[in-house]
Chains A and B, each alone.
Chain A
């Protein structure tokens, strides 16, 4: 445990969900504040900036996307959005505006806790830039040496394939949207070349020995993007 208590703000209008989220998080030792609408949520957060925000996209008083925008004006703290089924496009928009991860309702508590942990770890890594290594099961990526090892053996990737893997590894455990991947790997002007992305992910999967039918490392999030698995 860090010396200071990690604080989380839950902005959610359904009291039942708030209640069990709060209980689960408190049990894990987090400090929790809750708000049932966006304005209260923003007020609480700006008064005492939390370490993480859990934000429901379907709030009664404000569009979830606007809430994210207003947070991103002054903070880079992780934001995990909760979306209902059928809000897929909202969800992608939220991620592109700077939300870190998402969960689709209904979700299980362990799932949420894992996402919270991953998100908080990324904040810590940003502060502690030495940690530039990704390792999960037999796959190891050294982002400084640009080296990829599978079961201890070096795998040779083309620059594009490596860039793709690196972009995923930098956000290990979190979803990376298609647009973000395209921009990072092919540049801002890559447009909507979704099939490039699919083809390169396919090649990458082949080289690191990841079967799309039984993926271990790279998970497809249909309509959203990809997620590289991590411990937790």
Chain B
């Protein structure tokens, strides 16, 4: 048993993740969700009651936005809660009141109530969805209470729709729900709910379809929704239990080793695949991957389809999937190879409804996967009819269109047919009809290779028609005498079709690889340019030209100043500069993309991408598509991210070089000065000792000679200056190793006083040294010198008779010494300056002192990791406050 326990212990890396998560959580606000099966169960009411309870506990609870729907009970409950003003947004001439995110962030309450989690914000708000507002609040450390109905959860969306038959468009990603700190299920039996509905206690949106409401609030529906809500809550509790068990070191009942892959394709059940993947992954507690294979084929290159796929991939990522973008010509092979390489155990794939002829020629991807999957489980997902309907809104936005039509291509196709016909017609005497067919087939190849698939199709049809018209009896009619020609036409059309589609495929592949090659070349060129660029502006210009060439877009690059606001911009100017800058700043602060095509300020013109270096965000790359408001596609975004990455590394290299250069210069300067100082002072020192010695000898003979006394005095002063110079070069040059020993502060102060006895003769010294101070570790010699310097400094800068005060004490465990005087004080604003080398301030008529004493003090304190500062006293004079770190105080030794 004991053995088993041990085995169940969580492994260290898991614990580390746990700790990291906990850290994150500590900073992050807590989310509490009041969850219900449908409108009218009383979620808002429950939330408000809870809010009042917390408020009674003295917690700062603020109502961010509450939809009371004019219900008296709810309105009554809202009384007594402080409310945030709403944000009035002008939307197409109609004033809409929305939740004011900025106000909430400014107010920063402990708990904020935000009703209706799934609400869609009016255009012009920072985020399109309210749950994104909540996300930002949580990131800012605000606790949020919110409400949501089961039909708004993304993964249950189609289930709810199949129950009620009513599409729901406002969705919240399940991850928000699953990561909530608390979920409170607000539940009432369906009969009671129906009663409330009858009493008019349930809010129904104005203008809602009467029949739809009746359809929705059917008892069977309500029962199903209730079951769904209960089950979803149970799932949440289950996950929470697992989490708790993990926290307590019990292993989770994990079905090990599963990896799920969903295959996203250019079909309409991509979103359903995501939801299925998410649910399966959650049930198995397995990681999942959303894979998209980009092919050179026309569908895959269609802008709108790619856009749709990008959205699907984003939603998968939001729900916890890893996003993988593969490139290749054969989707099935790429998928299978990836699955085998990455140890995927379950594949989820859609069952596309292909037209029969496509099936006949193209083969079925699902069949291929089933055949090649080996030991991987394959789940095939279909889309029931109602769900297809629910995609209508999607479809409206992006009808499956043909690729852009270039009329010239079709004219060329017609021209080739004409040329082939003319050639055959004039050489008719020499050619048989089968030769003419050959000519047309060659034309088909040419058309496909030059013009692409659809012009080649046109060519195929036209060539058959022309052949019939110009070469088959009766000539110049579409009639045929010999009915065997119908077979010829069919074979000819088929041959043209096959040739043209194969040639077109080749052409597409060629274009595809040419595009890849161009991209590679571009990256290569940019890398080279950036590596030689010598300043940020040049780098920005290099990138700008690259992006404008690759994406037909304008570029703005913002660089931050020291305070982290984006001060410098390189690039073109756009109209609403403030909005763009706000988006860029948000992007910089949150290290996430913002602006066009994102969830943050999508109304901005730029797509803003943070330029993330190894340690910090170095700036923001803003890209503005010239075509207007069309967002960038997946591969374009990937390309932009690569650009940003290249710029980031180039910028970091630049910054590192700058810093290195600066430090080098500083070091060199300092070295030079120190060498100079020490050599000068050495050269001065020896003659000075001689002078001093000689005068001492002379003074023995005539002790009272005033000339000799003053020469001796000056010699001492000079010696002191030189010693100071030497000291500071030694301390700053790091040539001194502290000799840390425990001392009673009083003995060190005693030494300094003794050493300054002569200097302080004319001053009044008052001592306030606390008795029985503990031992403090320090370099006694240097600390003695520090105190001596401070005393001398005070003596020099105060008139004779002035009072010098030494105060020593242990404050919060740290030794603290204050040397103060009642002299003229320090010139205001110079409190820091005076510690600089050679900073003498003539506080009288001429500079006194060497200008080094205080610099030495500072160097000594720096070596001790202590602090020294000067301040003027309000009653006049100044004090120097020295503090050693508390760690140096020796606790009362036994």
Interface residue ranges, A against B (CB under 8 Å): 14, 16-17, 19-21, 23-24, 27, 85-86, 88-89, 105-106, 108-110, 194-196, 198-199, 202, 211-215, 219-220, 222-223
Contact = CB atoms under 8 A, between A and B. Distances in A.
B690 to A, nearest CB: 3
Contact of B686 (A16, A108, A211): A16
Interface in B31-90: none
12 contacts: A16-B693, A20-B694, A23-B694, A86-B726, A106-B685, A106-B723, A211-B750, A212-B750, A213-B769, A214-B753, A215-B750, A222-B780
B834 interface: no
A20 B692 CA distance: 9
Interface of B: 685-690, 692-694, 696-697, 700, 719, 723, 726-727, 730, 735-736, 739, 741-744, 746-751, 753-754, 767, 769, 775, 779-781, 783-784, 890, 893
B690 A17 contact: yes
Given A85-B723, A213-B746, A213-B753, A27 B697 contact: yes
Contacts of B697: 20, 23-24, 27, 109
Given A89-B739, A213-B753, A27 B700 contact: yes
A199 B775 contact: yes
A216 to B, nearest CB: 11
B97 to A, nearest CB: 72
Given A20-B696, A220-B780, 12 more contacts: A17-B686, A24-B700, A85-B726, A86-B730, A88-B781, A106-B689, A202-B744, A212-B746, A212-B749, A215-B754, A220-B743, A222-B781
Nearest to A109: B696
Contacts of B743: 198, 220, 222
A24 B696 contact: yes
Given A85-B727, A198-B742, A220-B780, A105 B748 contact: no
Contacts, number: 108
Give the secondary structure class of B's interface: helix
A196 B890 CA distance: 12
B744 A19 contact: no
A128 B736 CA distance: 44
B692 A108 contact: yes
B753 A195 contact: no
Given A89-B739, A198-B742, A212-B744, A222 B693 contact: no
Nearest to B806: A213
A106 B741 contact: no
A106 B696 contact: no
A17 B691 CA distance: 9
Nearest to A108: B696
Contact of B693 (A17, A199, A212): A17
B689 A16 contact: yes
A88 B783 CA distance: 14
B741 to A, nearest CB: 5
B319 to A, nearest CB: 63
List of 9 A-B pairs having minimum Cβ-Cβ separation, nearest first? A222-B780, A20-B693, A16-B690, A109-B696, A212-B746, A212-B747, A222-B781, A220-B747, A195-B742
A14 B686 contact: yes
B780 A195 contact: no
B739 A213 contact: no
Nearest to B699: A109
A202 to B, nearest CB: 6
A176 B601 CA distance: 78
Contacts of B775: 195, 198-199
Contacts of B780: 220, 222-223
Contact of A213 (B689, B693, B749, B783): B749
Contacts of A23: 693-694, 697
A106 B700 CA distance: 18
Contacts of A202: 744
Nearest to A28: B700
B693 A24 contact: yes
A96 to B, nearest CB: 15
Contacts of A24: 693, 696-697, 700
Contacts of B726: 85-86
A106, A199, A214: which has the most chain B beta carbons within 10 Å?
A: A106
A220 B744 CA distance: 10
A29 to B, nearest CB: 13
